[in-house]
Structure 1
Amino acid sequence: MPGRRGPDLGDLVARTARGDQDAFSALYDAVAGPVLGLVRRVLRDAAQSEEVAQEVLLEVWRTAARYQPERGEVMTWVLTMAHRRAVDRVRAAQAAADRDRRDAARSHTPAFDEVAEQVENRLERELVRRCLRALTELQREAVTLAYYRGLSYREVADLLAAPLGTVKTRMRDGLIRLRDCLGVAS
């Protein structure tokens, strides 16, 4: 049908906040795909992505009453939750790995060949540096600010005095080039 629009997400969130399960079902149908897609891009693991996406959608159900339309669109609100939850999962996994390394170092019984591990880490760091140098200056700036300084897309856009869409495009293109350069399977 020409001119057909999707459901009014703002109305669905308001009804969900009042406990309307049918509204939540419609909201779920409208946002589940984008949520899973975003989470999968961050985590790159299908099982974990599905788990995190379900956590996010449960959080939407629980916190629908806190949605503030004046602060942004429903899809933005939901995808922000999804991105944060996915990044938290990555950070938790990294923290667990760091904790395991510290425990192994304290027990003085390394679970790996320390010299080989150091050499491998050094080679990986050099490969990342070389791949970063292969990016355009604009891509490198955006990726570096977001991933090494921990800034959000909005903060990167503000710092670079560039439109948010431009920063997102730079990030996407830069990350694709990095993935290809590093030989990471998508």
Structure 2
Amino acid sequence: MSSGQEEGSMDGDIRLRQRLAAGDDAALQHTYDHCSTLVYRLALRVTRSREAAEEITQDVFVHLWEHPYAFDPGRGTLRTWLALLAHRRAVDWVRKEERRRRLLDAVGNPEPAAPIIDVIIADETGARVRHAVAALPQRLREAIELAYYHGRTYRQAAAELGLPEGTVKSRIRTGLRSIADTLAEEGSTS
């Protein structure tokens, strides 16, 4: 059976989930190629924000990569599960934005001042994160900086670096794990 014939079948989805669990970048690439447009459009329709839709799309596929067994082929297709996950995250984003807007309206201040302790903690955490990023090997640091400091999608970062998307995704994932480990060693959980 070709991957095109497998897509959407329970056996195909089970095999795809097993490949994802084994860390097969090609399986993630296949899933992204076949489902990212659906996920992005659904998130865009709910949020009405391109930036939010891009962020949600990346988040959905990172979640799939990190938690492939969260998808249960016995309950539906992978495509349907990804769409449901995208919808939930998009609705959460809209609710968060609505709460933020209501708070700003209630305060009557377009930029509420954060308590000084929050500013200090945020600055300290930011410095730790910047230090952890700077300590990464160049190949990981470049991918992280493009994605998180310059707002590039996986696809855009891959194009800029002249690398396959799967390689860039893997580098970002590895870099983020390394940063998390560094922050955990330093005792920073935020």
Specify the TM-score bucket, using the shorter chain as the normaliser. 0.5 to 0.7
How many angstroms apart in 2 are the aligned matches of 1:141 and 1:181? 18
How many angstroms apart in 2 are the aligned matches of 1:115 and 1:9? 55
Aligned residues between the structures: 143
1:19 corresponds in structure 2 to none
Please say if residues 156 and 167 of structure 1, whose CA atoms lie closer than 8 Å, have aligned partners that are also in contact.
Answer: yes
2:147 corresponds in structure 1 to 146
Q: Give the AA of the match of 1:182.
A: L
Q: Give the AA of the match of 2:173.
A: R
The one of 22, 38, 60 equivalent to 2:79 is 60
Please say if residues 28 and 57 of structure 1, whose CA atoms lie closer than 8 Å, have aligned partners that are also in contact.
Answer: no
Q: Report 1 or 2 for greater relative contact order, CA contacts < 8 Å, sequence distance ≥ 6.
A: 2
TM-score, L = length of structure 2:
0.52
Q: Which blocks of at least 5 consecutive residues in structure 2 are unaligned?
A: 29-59, 109-113
CA deviation map 1:71-111 (0-9, x unaligned): xxxxxxxxxx95x97677666545544543443343239xx
Q: Give the AA of the match of 2:106.
A: S
Please say if residues 42 and 87 of structure 1, whose CA atoms lie closer than 8 Å, have aligned partners that are also in contact.
Answer: no
Q: Which blocks of at least 5 consecutive residues in structure 1 are unaligned?
A: 1-6, 17-23, 62-80
The two structures, once aligned, show a CA RMSD in angstroms of 4.3
Alignment CA distance shift 1:163-1:40 (3 Å):
closer
1:71 corresponds in structure 2 to none
Superposed counterparts of 1:101-120, under 5 Å = 101-108=100-107, 114-120=115-121
Superposed counterparts of 1:10-25, under 5 Å = 10-13=4-7, 24-25=9-10
1:21 corresponds in structure 2 to none
